[in-house]
């Protein structure tokens, strides 16, 4: 069965998308992914690859199709605008391809380690599917930013699926900012109300789904042969949010932010493995370095102290990876 996906990225996440796509080629038997390219550089790159499993879509086409999102573009930061577009790209695919009955949104910084078919088996004939953050002990303070993570959202073309998607799109157009405001936070906190609103919703329970820095401390992570296990379950995909390049040779996983020390399997077989793949498609450029906000160019004493504690924590918890 052909599985349909969509994702969004710009040139800063282009290497991440290419790496994710390579892993999908390995573990997804029959799939197509609609790649929404938010700048001309990434669009030209994807177009030039000519991959049959990738359908490149320019941000220009998205904005021409959905003028409501383009009308709020100037009121949002770049990342806020991308958050705003999260449901809009799924609407675009459903509008343009009326033969697609099931569509899954993916964040572009995922890597598949095994087939996602167990996820679809869990979804069955339901209308919607999402996944919780599953925060480890010291991450639960972030629950106020959202119970669920937007890394994987599946919509079915039925009454509940389309109703949910259209409402989600309108909510993000009305308000989608990178700060907490009551019961709203970016594109994420809207999902908190879905379990009460939609009887056709599945909250994915598979432990191998959406492993990330904020929940890896909950599980026993080990490697057996070529398989990585999460409490005995196959790792399906890892979410590399929080991965940062510190220097030419050093990266941080951000796992230490949750007072967890990554073990050898996590560092070598998940993070180092991913970083090497990223570097191979980006020709060694700084593929994960976080852009410095101009307002922090003159660093304050408070921020300097925070950075010192953060760096100390990274060293104490073994959160640096050398490649």
In tens, the pLDDT along 241-299 reads: 999 998 888 999 999 999 999 999 999 999 999 999 999 987 444 444 443 333 333 55
Do residues 147 and 132 make contact, with C-beta atoms less than 8 angstroms apart?
Answer: yes
pLDDT of 183 above 80: yes
Domains of the chain, first to last: 3-211 (3.90.550.10), 242-322 (no CATH)
pTM over 0.75: yes
In tens, the pLDDT along 145-165 reads: 999 999 999 999 999 999 999
């Amino acid at each position: 069965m052909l599985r349909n996906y969509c994702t969004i990225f710009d040139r800063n996440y282009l290497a991440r998308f290419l790496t994710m796509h390579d892993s999908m080629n390995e573990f997804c038997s029959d799939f197509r992914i609609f790649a929404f390219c938010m700048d001309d550089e990434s669009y030209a790159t994807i177009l030039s690859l000519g991959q049959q499993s990738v359908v490149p879509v320019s941000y220009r086409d998205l904005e021409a199709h959905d003028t409501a999102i383009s009308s709020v573009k100037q009121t949002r930061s770049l990342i806020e605008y991308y958050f705003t577009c999260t449901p809009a790209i799924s609407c675009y695919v459903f509008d343009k391809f009326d033969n697609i009955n099931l569509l899954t949104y993916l964040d572009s910084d995922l890597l598949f380690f095994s087939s996602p078919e167990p996820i679809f088996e869990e979804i069955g004939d339901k209308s919607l599917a999402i996944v919780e953050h599953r925060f480890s002990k010291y991450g639960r303070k972030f629950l106020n930013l959202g119970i669920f993570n937007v890394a994987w959202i599946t919509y079915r073309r039925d009454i509940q699926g389309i109703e949910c998607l259209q409402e989600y799109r309108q909510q993000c157009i009305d308000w989608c900012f990178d700060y907490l405001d009551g019961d709203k936070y970016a594109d994420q906190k809207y999902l908190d109300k879905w379990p009460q609103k939609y009887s056709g919703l599945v909250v994915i329970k598979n432990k191998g789904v959406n492993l990330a820095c904020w929940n890896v401390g909950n599980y026993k992570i080990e490697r057996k042969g070529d398989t990585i296990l999460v409490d005995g379950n196959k790792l399906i995909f890892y979410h590399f949010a929080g991965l940062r390049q510190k220097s030419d040779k050093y990266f941080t996983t951000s796992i230490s932010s949750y007072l967890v020390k990554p073990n050898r399997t996590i560092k070598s077989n998940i993070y180092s493995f991913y970083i090497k793949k990223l570097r191979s498609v980006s020709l060694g450029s700084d593929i994960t370095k976080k852009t410095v906000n101009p307002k922090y160019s003159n660093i304050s004493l408070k921020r300097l102290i925070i950075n010192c504690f953060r760096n100390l924590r990274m060293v104490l918890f073994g959160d640096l990876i050398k490649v």
